[in-house]
Amino acid sequence: MTATDPRTAHRHPEPTTLAEACDLVHTPDLDVSEDGMFGTYGGAFLPPQLEGPMREVAEAYREAREDPEFYAEYTRLLRDFVGRPSPLTPLDRLSAELGGARIVLKREDLNHTGAHKINHCVGEALLARRMGKTSLIAETGAGQHGVALATAAALVGLDCEIHMGAVDIAKQHPNVVRMRLLGTKVVSVERGGRSLKEAVDSSFEVYAANPEKYLFAIGSVVGPHPFPTVVRDFQTVVGRESRRQFSERYGTLPDAVIACVGGGSNAMGAFTAYLDDEDVRLIGVEPGGRSDATGEHAMTMGQGVPGTLHGMSTLVLQDEDGTPDPVHSIASGLDYPGVGPQHARFKELGRVEYVAEDDAAVLDAFQRLSRTEGIVPALESAHAVAHALRIAPTLGEDQTLLVNLSGRGDKDVDYVAEKLSITGDADEVVR
């Protein structure tokens, strides 16, 4: 791979289609084949009755990807509805306190609905309308994808149904209320671990029974082909923006780009623009949970083995019989026993480093960013912040870490307050 001069990195002609936009960050040995494979990972492992509907989605997306009108509407909505571009924010106080490398955030938390998820949800809603579907259906963990999809459905006039594990509903109640306010049907999944995996299973079963009505609008770069590519393509806006913004402001590229990884959508969006730049480290941060024992974490990249999950071949946390392991993360959006197949390919080729941060480090990062910089991060994003806090002091002051702050922490405030024994009582009473 050959690095591009950062001083001219943002001077490409403006793309007129989504395909052209994604070609700006295209790296053949890391990309998808025509049958949906990333090396030995990916594909579409489906029951026969879903092979036709998946071909329909793949063909409709292939056409939309090449359509200038589709891309024009998508980019207009990103600008006028989502509020893009999201800014870069240098963490001056926190960087000075730590010593070492400067930390800069890419502020996906400032998007409408408060996270990166809206980037692909707007695209999925436009695709569903183009296909003549009347409803969107999907899973959600932390509720951010659910809220974003509910928002996009309302925007384009579609019905929406979101399946959510009962454990996550209890943790993320404000997002459940937001989805219902937006007119979305919320289904509580009470079986199994009652979390993200079960929500994916449940929503996909409903979709499989009625693919004429629904578009399955998956929430990450996971699932059968073409879903990992669809979500990735819509998320590339994050990396394209940050590369242009960073090079214009600093005259160079970051020394490392850091993002949390569950399924991996925000990391995929953050990383793609830098794949050709060998001098830019790409670091994905997994949930280390409470310990490295089975059921106490969700470190798929660290402990997963090749397997099949949710219609894709990827790395999976599973037992000897191929049954997915129970998983845990303090962040509901990372509570998943698999990972996107392109991430599995990145690990195989060594282009991305995958590390883990445990719950304690994440809570500390949540507090430090809130109290030092006035930015309350999502617990998912706090995994990436935690790793930046860990490595910044070990690096030189001439180095910069770009952290993708994938979402804001409003949804996590009650849960974190309980964990930290912070009450809603006043500190002082004046009479």
Supply the residues annotated as catalytic.
117, 139, 406
Strand order in the sheet with 37-38: 37-38, 41-42, 312-316, 305-309
Strand-pair partners of 189 = 165
With CA atoms as reference, report the closest residue to 104 among 256, 268, 239.
256
With CA atoms as reference, report the closest residue to 385 among 86, 109, 87, 84.
109
Sequence-distant (≥ 6) Cβ neighbours of residue 110 within 8 angstroms: 83, 86, 87, 408
Angle at 279 between CA 38 and CA 12, to 5 degrees: 75
Q: Are 158 and 127 in contact (CB under 8 A)?
A: no
Q: Are 138 and 155 in contact (CB under 8 A)?
A: no
Q: What is the DSSP string of 392-418?
A: GGGS-TT-EEEEEE-BBSGGGHHHHHH
Q: How far is Cα 262 from Cα 357, in angstroms, rounded to an integer?
A: 12
